[in-house]
Amino acid sequence: MSNISSELRERRGAGLPGAALESLRPYQWLKNALVFVPLAAAHRLGEPLLLGRAAQAFVAFSLCASAVYLLNDLWDAAADRTHPHKRLRPIASGRLPRSVALVLAAVLLAVTIAAAWPLGASASAGAMERRSSRVAGMASQMKSAEAAFASSFALPMSNVLPSVGASASAPRFSA
């Protein structure tokens, strides 16, 4: 018990900013670095535009995760107070007031949306452009296929109907 109390006293020394930072769990952000894996696999880490977008996605994921950690800690605070380790968390221990945590979570979610919004627009624009060119290509192929199909059934009219000036001696078929 005294060991946990001394840990709590040490953590309290950081004050409100330290408690807020601890609640964001920045050590968990490392897993968000996975957004860089596709660039590395495609050997495109040297492209500044793509690297910038990946960095922007990394920041957005990290801030969103931190907001969710805060909301989860707010939700579970009563249960966390009874847990031997979780009771040391800033919200459960009271080092980070609930009102501050709630405002911080809302701000983080707003910044997450602001950071991620341009990524969705650029990705959507690129996807729309690719889709548009694919559709145009498919339309061209369909027209060619349609013309080929139609020409395969086109027969000269002289083979189907007798010519207008046909002689009366032309053979007639009787029923």
- Establish if 59 belongs to a structural domain: yes
- Establish if 41 belongs to a structural domain: yes
| Count of structural domains within the chain | 1
- Establish if 62 belongs to a structural domain: yes
Q: Please count the other Cβ atoms lying within 10 Å of the Cβ belonging to residue 44.
A: 13
- Establish if 19 belongs to a structural domain: yes
Helix axes 15-24, 48-75, angle to 10 degrees: 110
- Establish if 147 belongs to a structural domain: no
Claim: this prediction has a pTM higher than 0.75: no
Q: Is residue 120 very low, low, confident or very high in pLDDT (cuts 50, 70, 90)? A: confident
Model pLDDT for residues 159-171, shown as the tens digit of each residue: 555 555 555 555 5
Cα 72 to Cα 65: distance, rounded to the nearest angstrom = 10
- Judge whether 57 and 122 are in contact, CB under 8 Å: no
Model pLDDT for residues 37-62, shown as the tens digit of each residue: 999 999 999 999 999 999 999 999 99
- Establish if 112 belongs to a structural domain: yes
Model pLDDT for residues 55-97, shown as the tens digit of each residue: 999 999 999 999 999 999 999 999 999 999 999 999 999 999 9
Copy the structure tokens of residue 52. Answer: 């910038």
- Establish if 152 belongs to a structural domain: no
Considering only CA atoms, which of 24, 7, 23 is closest in space to residue 89? 23
- Judge whether 116 and 110 are in contact, CB under 8 Å: no
CA-to-CA separations, 168 to 43, 85, 164, 165, in angstroms, rounded: 81, 110, 11, 9
Higher pLDDT, 26 or 175: 26
- Establish if 133 belongs to a structural domain: no
Q: Is residue 1 very low, low, confident or very high in pLDDT (cuts 50, 70, 90)? A: very low
- Judge whether 85 and 26 are in contact, CB under 8 Å: no
What is the residue range of 39's domain? Answer: 2-120
Question: What letter does residue 175 receive in the DSSP assignment?
Answer: -
- Judge whether 150 and 95 are in contact, CB under 8 Å: no
Cα 138 to Cα 132: distance, rounded to the nearest angstrom = 10
